[in-house]
Amino acid sequence: MLAQGFVSAAAIAASVLFVLSLGGLSNQEKAKRAVWYGIVGMAVAVLFTAFGPGIGNYWLMIPMVAIGSVVGWHVAKRVAMTEMPQLVAALHSFVGLAAVFVAWNADLERRRVLAAQAMGATAEQFSAFAALVATKAPDELTFLQLEVVFAIFIGAVTFTGSVIAFGKLAGKVDGKPHKLPGGHLLNAGAAALCLLLAVLYLNGAGFWTLLLLAALSFFIGWHLIMGIGGADMPVVVSMLNSYSGWAAAAIGFTLSNDLLIVTGALVGSSGAILSYIMCKAMNRNFVSVILGGFGGTQGPAAEIEGEQVAIDAAGVASALNNADSVVIVPGYGMAVAQAQNAVSELTRKLRAAGKQVRFAIHPVAGRLPGHMNVLLAEAKVPYDIVLEMDEINDDFPKTDVTIVIGSNDIVNPAAQEDPNSPITGMPVLEVWKSSVVFVCKRGQGTGYSGIENPLFYKENTRMFYGDARESIDSLLSLID
């Protein structure tokens, strides 16, 4: 058993490592080292917490940790990079559900301690957590009850919200927004009932209040995320990341675990900041998004004239061979087709031929922040030719060829041209200003978000239909 001093020192060390990890993830070249900071920090946190004072039941804890480690290793080895967004959403749900169970257990322990104290029991006769509860003053017990209410509410919302986000990202749930009759009033009504139940609980009502509170919160999480469309899923994943952090912090307060409080606050605040940044990048109102898309556009979308004109590999290769400057815009379609290595090889051949090749990355490309950057780094694409939207948008009028691989909303001119479009006002990559645009796409559908794209019908756009990896592979032998 480790002394409390060692545990406190380890908590400080782990907190520093977590801060270094978050800071390093903002830079592609430092990201791998940052991940290791996080891994070591978590290992230190788990080890010193498990062997800290007042901890027991190792006969149960060690097998559970071993099983969880094996399952986590197996999942991490099997999940492809394309499935990372839905894996992140699934992991968020675990944190939320854990918060609910810990909060329920904390209240049951509180009730047991109070009943035992009424019969003359002392703090020395209780388990570690129960003894902690037994030494609390009445106002501290009230604060514990507030922690329980918050943990259940935010944890339950995180759980069901993350499950629905997982379903939408994995294609198991329709990506279009769906609300029950009553829409936002249902969410508001459920939230009001949660507040009423919290007041009843704080005034001595039974455990049933916490069960109903969890049930209503589960509904809010489900209905909230069901009401958000596929175009906003990257923001939703980031937002749920923030929710899971606050749920973890609430557990930390309940368990009097300083490290859990710090870690949850780091995750919660960084997720909230990232969500805000992404909302700015999409010209979305942050409050509107977290309320399930409240305040969306009204009126019919503008009609699109023209037709989609197809082109074959020989035509695309001819344009690339004659081009001096090429911009590649990757999207989720590239991830699904696992075409990043073929794209990297195409980039190498074009650069070897003396052509300027760069990548344009929209802040919300893919279904997770930084998704495209990770895929390109995995395929050994040089960091210095991967540019953000603000760095490259002004260069499209001087670009000979732009290749769009599996992107839709982030290159959709309707964001600027159609005031009734669901993405109106969203900053987009202005690829249509290039001399010619080739769009690698499986078919003529509207894609994940269900929003029609006028880019596909413009005179300087040609549709390069087919699987993205096969399409890019077919170009490699035709590049001079």
The confidence score (pLDDT) of residue 129 equals 63
The pLDDT of 362-386, averaged and rounded, is 83
Which range, 27-36, 272-281, 408-417, has the best average confidence (pLDDT)? 408-417
Q: 70-84, 238-252, 399-413: which range is least confident on average?
A: 70-84
466 and 326 housed in the same domain:
yes
59 and 173 housed in the same domain:
no
Q: Rounded to two decimals, what is the model's pTM?
A: 0.78
Domain membership flag for residue 274:
yes
Q: Into how many domains does the chain fold? A: 3
Model confidence at 255: pLDDT above 50: yes
The confidence score (pLDDT) of residue 416 equals 87
pLDDT digits 0-9 by tens, 50-99? 887 767 778 888 898 899 889 988 888 887 766 777 888 888 899 999 99
What is the percentage of the chain residues whose pLDDT exceeds 90? Answer: 38
Domain membership flag for residue 277:
yes
164 and 230 housed in the same domain:
yes
Point out the domain boundary residue: 52, 78, 104. 78
Domain membership flag for residue 302:
no
What is the 3-state secondary structure of the chain?
CCCHHHHHHHHHHHHHHHHHHHHHCCCHHHHHHHHHHHHHHHHHHHHHHHCCCCCCCHHHHHHHHHHHHHHHHHHHHHCCHHHHHHHHHHHHHHHHHHHHHHHHHHHHHHHHHHHHHHCCCCHHHCCHHHHHHHCCCHHHHHHHHHHHHHHHHHHHHHHHHHHHHHHHHCCCCCCCCCCCCCCHHHHHHHHHHHHHHHHHHHCCCCCHHHHHHHHHHHHHHHHHHHCCCHHHHHHHHHHHHHHHHHHHHHHHHHHCCHHHHHHHHHHHHHHHHHHHHHHHHCCCCHHHHHCCCCCCCCCCCCCCCCCCCECCHHHHHHHHHHCCEEEEEECHHHHHHCCHHHHHHHHHHHHHCCCEEEEEECCCCCCCCCHHHHHHHHCCCCHHHEEEHHHHHHHHHHCCEEEEECCCHHHCCHHHHCCCCCCCCCCCCCHHHCCEEEEEECCCCCCCCCCCCHHHHCCCEEEEECCHHHHHHHHHCCCC
62 and 119 housed in the same domain:
no
The confidence score (pLDDT) of residue 378 equals 83
Domain membership flag for residue 20:
yes
The confidence score (pLDDT) of residue 399 equals 96
Catalytic residue among 107, 232, 409, 418: 409
Range of 58's domain? 1-78
Q: 11-15, 168-172, 355-359: which range is least confident on average?
A: 168-172
54 and 158 housed in the same domain:
no
Model confidence at 183: pLDDT above 70: yes
333 and 245 housed in the same domain:
no
105 and 16 housed in the same domain:
no
Domain membership flag for residue 39:
yes
The confidence score (pLDDT) of residue 179 equals 80
Domain membership flag for residue 449:
yes
pLDDT digits 0-9 by tens, 93-145? 999 999 999 999 888 888 887 777 677 666 555 566 666 666 667 777 788 88
353 and 375 housed in the same domain:
yes
pLDDT tier, 296 (very low <50, low <70, confident <90, very high otherwise): very low
248 and 197 housed in the same domain:
yes
340 and 225 housed in the same domain:
no
Domain membership flag for residue 305:
no
42 and 16 housed in the same domain:
yes
Domain membership flag for residue 306:
no
418 labelled catalytic: no
128 and 240 housed in the same domain:
yes
